[in-house]
Amino acid sequence: MSTVAGNVSALGPWALLFMAIAVTYLWRGLGTVIAARIDPESRFLQWIACVAYGLLAALISRIVFLPVGILEKTELVDRLGASIFGFVVFYLFKKHIGLGTLSAAGALMLLVWARGQGIL
């Protein structure tokens, strides 16, 4: 179908993918089963939500600081600068998610393009 990375076998990704889908549905299904039986305001669930958000933040922050894959070929200062620029716009426009995303992405695109052209 397409290129297969050296360290990933042809069968490997599919087996891993179906396991990933199963563990994801576990949360959805579990929530559905116990929806009738648990208080959605309980402290345990609040803590669970915090763990989820902490983990997502760790993932995003790692991708900016220590990326794996294609982003690895960009400069840290570019990724960081674009993120900070996006956050400035985001807060200037009363936490506008769309504008923040567009600004950060636009800034990175400009920086990477400028480096490719030898301007930076």
Partner 1 sequence: MGFRDGFSLPAFMVTASMLGYGAMVHSAGMSLPIAIVSTMGIWGLPGQVAFIEYVLLGAPIASMMIAVSLANMRFLPMSLSFVPLFRGSKSGWRWRYLWVQLMSVNTWVGLMRRVPELEPDQRGPFYAGFSTVCMIAGVGGVSIGYLMAETLPFFVTVTLVFVNPIYFAFVFAAMRVRACLLAFGAGAVCGPLIYLLTPEWSLPISGVIAGTVGYFADQLLKRVRG
Q: Which of 5, 11, 118, 119 is close enough to bind partner 1 by CB under 8 A?
A: 5
Does position 119 interact with partner 1 (CB under 8 A)? The reply is no
CB-CB contact of 80 with 111 (8 Å): no
Does position 21 interact with partner 1 (CB under 8 A)? The reply is yes
Does position 70 interact with partner 1 (CB under 8 A)? The reply is yes
Give residues 30-69 in contact with partner 1 (rule: CB under 8 A): 30-32, 34-36, 38, 40, 45-66, 68-69
Report the distance separating Cα 62 and Cα 76, nearest Å. Answer: 11
Q: What binding mask, one character per residue, do residues 78-117 give for partner 1 by CB under 8 A, x or -?
A: -x--xx--xx--x----x-xx-xx--xx--xx--xx--x-
Report the distance separating Cα 56 and Cα 108, nearest Å. Answer: 21
Report the distance separating Cα 22 and Cα 43, nearest Å. Answer: 27
Report the distance separating Cα 3 and Cα 43, nearest Å. Answer: 47
- State the nearest-atom distance from the C-beta of 61 to partner 1, in Å: 4
